[in-house]
Homo-oligomer: A and B are copies of this chain.
Amino acid sequence: MFYHSSKLQYEVRVEKPNPLFAKMLQQAIGGVEGEIRVAMQYFFQAMGARGPVKYRDLLIATATEELSHIEFLGHAVALNLEKAPTSMQEEAAKDPVVNAILGGMNPRHILSSGLSAMPVNSNGVPFDMSHIYATGNIGADMLANATAEAGGRVLAERLYNMTDDPGMKDMLSFLIARDTMHQQQWLAVIEELGGLEAALPIPNSVPESHEATKHSYVFLNTSLDKPAPEGRWTSGPSLDGKAKFSQA
């Protein structure tokens, strides 16, 4: 069961409200790299977790934290929309800056939400729940989670570079830090279960008779005019320690 405290997990301040940055911040709320996605992904994984209870606890604890990230980002969007122009009447006809803002901001921040955050990305496309990856296989799910946090941290850094508002930079530095931790905690689960060598191939419970193993460690080059790109994947031991890589 969930509870709420009136304190934000991270206090947000905005010195120079910027409706264009509000539009961009939406990517961190309703984008595939955003907080709704991770909150719901960890929540559904937790509900489906059937193994040791500590992994379920880990998932639900972090799902809960991500809900709090949605919350302070929502405040950040609203603060960036303060004083946004809501009219193209006098001023816009004259002022190219206002014109550019009205053209560049998300019109639904004016028309639909009344200057508040929405569960959409920076193009205004609503988040859809097909992005909640939860297979019931812990290896697959932990990789999916690390992926989500990698995408999230890439995004947070790009948003950091986009703004020069000190309040926004401060908030983003917190999100960057939490994404660091979250990446690591999901990969730490894999390490605790024996590391990648033991986890691979995912799922590691497939009977050998189900797999045409002669195709399992062979890089297939489909290029007509270039040799196979050589690397760690074309020779040497496979990452699961069961075979040697080759190429065809």
Using CB atoms, name the residue of chain B closest to A210.
B160
Give the contacting residue for A177; candidates B196, B212, B239; CB below 8 A.
Answer: B212
Roughly how many angstroms separate A140 CA and B143 CA in the complex, as a whole number? 11
Question: Chain A 87-128 against B: per-residue CB contact (8 Å), 1 yes, 0 no?
Answer: 111100100110111111111101111111111111111111
Give the shortest distance, in Å, between A166 (CB) and chain B (any CB): 12
Chain A interface extent, by class: 35 or more
Q: Once the chains bind, are B107 and A123 in contact (CB under 8 Å)?
A: yes
Interface residues of A in 215-238 (CB under 8 A from B): 215-226, 228-233, 238
Contact flags (1/0) for A145-162 with B, using CB distance below 8 Å? 011011101110111111
Q: Given known contacts A157-B206, A160-B210, A176-B206, what 9 new A-B pairs fall within 8 Å (CB)?
A: A1-B68, A4-B60, A4-B222, A113-B136, A127-B128, A133-B147, A176-B211, A178-B216, A184-B217
Q: Assess whether B184 is in contact with A1, with CB atoms less than 8 Å apart.
A: no
A119–B44 touching, CB < 8 Å: yes
Contact A151 B177 (CB under 8 A): no
Distance A126 CA – B129 CA, assembled complex (angstroms) = 5
User: For A112, what are the chain B residues with a Cβ–Cβ distance below 8 Å?
Assistant: 27, 31-33, 122, 135, 155
Q: Is the CB of B225 within 8 A of A162?
A: no
- Distance of A35 from chain B, by nearest CB (Å): 11
B1/A239 in contact, CB under 8 A: no
